[in-house]
Every structure is written in C-alpha cells, then in structure tokens.
Amino acid sequence: MSEQHWSKTKERGSYLGMQFLLGVYKLFGRRVLWLFMFVVVFYFYLSGRKARRASLDYWRRLHTFDSSQPKPSFGTGLKHFCTFADSAFDKIDAWLGRITPAQLRYQNQHLFDDLVARRQGAIFIGSHLGNLEVCRALGMRHQNCVINVLVFTEHAVEFNRTLGRINPNVSVNLIQVSDMGPDLAILLKSKVEQGEFVVIVGDRTSTSAVGRVHYASFLGEPAPFAQGPFILAALLECPIYWLFCTRSGDGFDVHFSHYSEALSLPRKTRQQALAQVIDDYAQELQRVTLQCPYQWFNFYDFWQRDEDSVRHKEK
C-alpha cells in the first residue's frame, strides 16, 4: 500500500509540551532534560509505526548498500529517534549562543567569508541530514549577512517562532513556500541581487508540482528528487553551494562546497542538464549520509515513487 506524501504527515506532540521542555532545558541543561526526553522519545518510537517503519527501511537500504553500516534493529531505530531529538537541542543551543565558533569545523570557510565580504548573493542547497539550524544562527555573527530560508511546512515556521522567543536578537527571514512560481523567483532574485543568501533543501519532493522529479541513485536505489530547487537555482543566476551541517562529538562539521558560479539549463539539453545537477546533489548527499548515518532525518518512505504518494493523498 502506498504511503502518503511527506507533507501530509502530521507532526506529533504539542507546542505547550515543547515550551515546557524548553523551560526545563534552559533551567537545568541537556542532561536533566534527557531524563524527561528519553521517556517521550521511547513512547513516540513505540507508537509511531510509520516513522519507525521508515527508519528501519532506511537502515535496511543503508546496510545493503554498505555492509559496514549498522544493521536494522530495534536498538538502531531507537538510537536514530534519539539522535533526531538531540538535534532539536542543538537548534536551541545555537539560538542561545551556547555553540561557540571553536565548536565549528568548516570545510572551505574562506568561501563563505568571501561571499559576505563581496556582498555576493548565492543559493545554498542543503537537506534534512544533520542540522542546518546551527549554520543559520551562527551565520548571524556577520553584520552584513542576510539569510533567507525557504520552508515548506507550518511546523517549521512555528518551531522557529519558538526559537525566536528564546533569543529575540537572532532573526532569520523565513519564507513559507506553497508553490515555486514566478512571484517567488522574482522575490528571491531581488534578494540575491542585494547580496543576500537563499537556503533551500533539495531532498523533499514538491507539495504541489506532482511528478516534477528526477529519480537519482541514492544508496543504490532510485529516489525522487524535486526539480524545483534546482530550477530555482538556475533562475537566480547566482553561485550555487552545497551546505550540510552534522554533529561530530562535541562539535559540528560544516560541509560547505562550491558547485557552480551559475547553473545553466539550455533549452535543447534542459532535461539532461537538470538530471546531471540533481545526480551530483544526490551523490554529495549520499557521501555525507554515509559519514553520519544516524543524522538522516527523513522519517518517511524516501524512495517512494512521487506519483504513488500523490495517488494515496487523493484517495
């Protein structure tokens, strides 16, 4: 039976409960909070059949692709859920200023600093692997750095509002997207021309453009990747960078790499060029995933055919 589209998966838990946990965290720290959180995570793991099944399916595919990776098991799945919960605390730490520059290990930091110094707008394509929140908050140390983040769910907006209450001095321009149409392209084009950055994830299929995907090889099997983020990148006519941020011990690895000065999609070879850039993104995503497998935070059937998820939604 087909699973529903990722965007139709309801977020579990209440914001009142989240604010309570945030209060405990601010007063007593992460260790004390985990006394509460482990019980909560364990409950969600036992009761969240769809997310648990998606997690174990991911581990099955991962282990089949690379036998050195952990085998799917109850313990592996539970650790996966706990890692996801722990990433939420990293978001909070970033907003509270508890993560110091010394905890960040940049790959190619000079590239980012150069963009800020030149006031060169760019698009950063990331994913739900690791924690982009850390980069977004700490990027604010640059006075001339303006970051616009495209989000696709109301939950993301609400969560960031909650973080904003924690530290009102940190702000990121959130742009909620329901359709990647001409109006959005015009808005973002003007921001890039002003030297601002646009952050978008490339690992979620569209909530509105059915079937506008390219099936790229990911962990040995074809997975649907939305064309929208990459078409948008071409329309903005600006430098394109891959951006991932993953936890490593007590610090974070910021994977920041230049992909193209401007993405060209010639009319005659448009589909081939689009397929190539998505394939390149999928390979980079796969590379970082193999390094940090527990930080894969797509808790749905990532490999499901896009058309099947839409048919399920319409029933």
Distance CA 130, CA 140 (A): 19
Q: What does the pLDDT read at residue 122?
A: 95
Please give the average pLDDT of every successive group of 10 residues along the chain, which has 315 residues.
48 56 75 83 92 96 97 96 89 76 84 89 94 70 76 60 60 66 85 92 73 92 93 92 93 93 90 96 97 95 74 45
Q: What does the pLDDT read at residue 315?
A: 43
Q: What does the pLDDT read at residue 208?
A: 55
Backbone angles phi, psi at 10, to 5 degrees: -75, 140
Distance CA 314, CA 54 (A): 21
108: CB partners within 8 A, 6+ apart: 256, 257, 258
Predicted TM-score of the model (pTM): 0.85
Q: What does the pLDDT read at residue 68?
A: 97
Distance CA 116, CA 253 (A): 20
- Asked if 224 contacts 205 with a C-beta cutoff of 8 angstroms, the reply is yes
- Displacement of CA 179 from its chain's centroid (Å): 18
